[in-house]
Every structure is written in structure tokens, then in C-alpha cells.
Structure 1
Amino acid sequence: MQISVSSTLTVYHDGQFWVGLAERVEDGRYGAARIVFGAEPSDEEILQFVVGKWEKISFFGGKPAEASKPAKNPKRRAREAAKTLKQPAMSTKAQQALANQRETMKRESAQARSQRRADEAETRFEQRKLKHKQKHRGH
């Protein structure tokens, strides 16, 4: 069994920060991740990031990707590369994957916040009961 993996890292300036857009197609499933670099990263910093932290990136999406077959004609490949460079840094597929990631994180944090509030309320209630019990202890 053979698994095909294709990954790209696009670094661009979003107006405020330098951002990396990591896209991966693994076994026909597309995933994207957004990495904020802050200041403009040097080529060496990008290489260190790819070598050291690429495995730890959690890619979101998981939707089947359409297969793209490589062109055998070198001129066509050059045209496609030039066309890709002219396109905006973030693809709509990547935008959708990142939007889904944000929604998932928002839901998870809302659930955690709700659970934490319920636990705190329960703790306060138990403390009030204990305090009330101690007040009436010696009578």
C-alpha cells in the first residue's frame, strides 16, 4: 500500500503579521493550518520551522481533495507555476479549513467555560452549606 503526501508552506504578510499557510494532501485528504510568525521570518527560520515543528502541526479540514495530475510538458508546468504565484496566498479551501478550525475551537472553549462555571458554582454552594452548618453547630 502506498500513501501519497503533498505539502506546501506559503508565507505571506496579512497586513499586520507574517503568516504561514501550511497545506497538506495526505492519502487524498486535504488539511490546512495557519502559523503566525510575527516578524518577517528569514529563510533559515522557515527551514528550522519546517524541520523541527512540521510534524507537530495539527491540520484541519480532512475533506477529500481533488486529484491533480502533474503535467509532463515543462512549458505547461512553468505556466501553472506562474499562475499559482499570481493567485492570492490563501486559497478558498484553506480559508474554509481554517474557519472550521476556529469554529471547532470556539465550541470547545465555550463548553470548557460552561463546565468551569458550573464547577465553580457547585464549589461555592458547597462552601455556603458548610459555613451554614458550622454556624449552627454549637446550639
Structure 2
Amino acid sequence: MNIKLTVYFEDPFWVGVFERTSNSLYEISKVTFGSEPKDYEVYKFVLNNFYKLRFSKPVKLMDLREKKINAKRLQKKVKKETEKKGISTKAQETIKLEQESKKVERKEISKSKKEEEKKRRFELKQQKKKKKKKGH
């Protein structure tokens, strides 16, 4: 299992994106920090709140191969990652997919609520008609 946290500025707040890969599954969680977090604040947040985070639905990864990376190459990779601003395109795509799925869910829920309301009103009208026909 690999976990990566990227903290970046997304106007007007600082945002942290947790990326978790395990068993060729990729999940992300987005956290809004507000003002710029200090290193110790981020560390404290990870220790206290990591298990409370809600990750997105797992997305299957195709090209996940764990290779042992030598120390110098790993240092170069870490330096490159720290200089890079923003989040990976994989994370952006996953966030977008999650937003789309929630949007579809919301639409379905609102549609069903409208249908129920429409049925309720229709039943109410029918009852009023019957009551009117009876006379009292």
C-alpha cells in the first residue's frame, strides 16, 4: 500500500489530496485546510484524522508494478515531486469521476422525490374529488 499526500493552494484555500494505491486499486480523498498549514499541523492532521477520511470509490489501475528503486533515484523522484505544484492527472480524473457519480445520484434522488410528491398531490386531489361528490 502506497499513500501520498499533496498539499497545494487552490484559491482561496489550501487543499490536501490523499492518494492511496493498494492491490492495483487507486483511491483519493480531498481535504480543505483553509489557511496554509504548517508541517507539524499536517502531521498532526494525518495522525488524528487519517482513518476518518472518506476515500473515493476504488478505480482499477492497469500499469501498477512495484520495483525496488535505488536510493539516489528515489531522492531525485522525491525532489521532483516536491517541486511540482498541484495534483496528478490521475487524481484529477478520479475526483472528476467521483463528482460525476455523485451528480447522477443526486439527480436520481431528486427525480424520485419529485415523482413521490406528484403522486401524493394526485392522491390528495382524488380524495378531494371524492369528498366533494359525497357532499360532506
Query: How many residues matched?
Result: 134
Quote how far apart the aligned CAs of 1:59 are.
2.6
Task: Tell me the percent identity.
Answer: 31
Q: Distance in 2 between matches of 1:16 and 1:27?
A: 35
Deviation digits for residues 48-70 of structure 1, max 9, x if unmatched?
A: 43234323322334222522424
Q: TM-score, normalised by structure 2?
A: 0.85
Quote how far apart the aligned CAs of 1:119 are.
0.5
Quote how far apart the aligned CAs of 1:26 are.
1.1
Deviation digits for residues 104-129 of structure 1, max 9, x if unmatched?
A: 00000000010010011111111111
Q: Provide runs of 4+ in structure 1 moved above 4 Å.
A: 42-45
Q: Distance in 2 between matches of 1:54 and 1:68?
A: 24
Moved more, 106-115 or 74-83: 74-83
1:25 to 17, 21, 46: 21
Deviation digits for residues 54-107 of structure 1, max 9, x if unmatched?
A: 2332233422252242422x3222211111112232100001100100100000
Quote how far apart the aligned CAs of 1:131 are.
1.3
Amino acid at match of 2:23: D
Moved more, 110-119 or 22-31: 22-31
Q: TM-score, normalised by structure 1?
A: 0.83
Deviation digits for residues 7-47 of structure 1, max 9, x if unmatched?
A: 11212111211111010001121112222223333445434
State the superposition RMSD in angstroms. Answer: 2.0
Amino acid at match of 1:67: R
Matches within 5 A, 1:77-88: 77-88=74-85
Given that 1:60 and 1:100 are in contact with CA atoms closer than 8 Å, whether structure 2 keeps it comes out as no
Give unpaired runs (5+ residues) of structure 1: none
Given that 2:17 and 2:30 are in contact with CA atoms closer than 8 Å, whether structure 1 keeps it comes out as yes
Q: Distance in 2 between matches of 1:90 and 1:55?
A: 21
Given that 2:8 and 2:85 are in contact with CA atoms closer than 8 Å, whether structure 1 keeps it comes out as no
Note if 1:111 corresponds to 2:84.
no
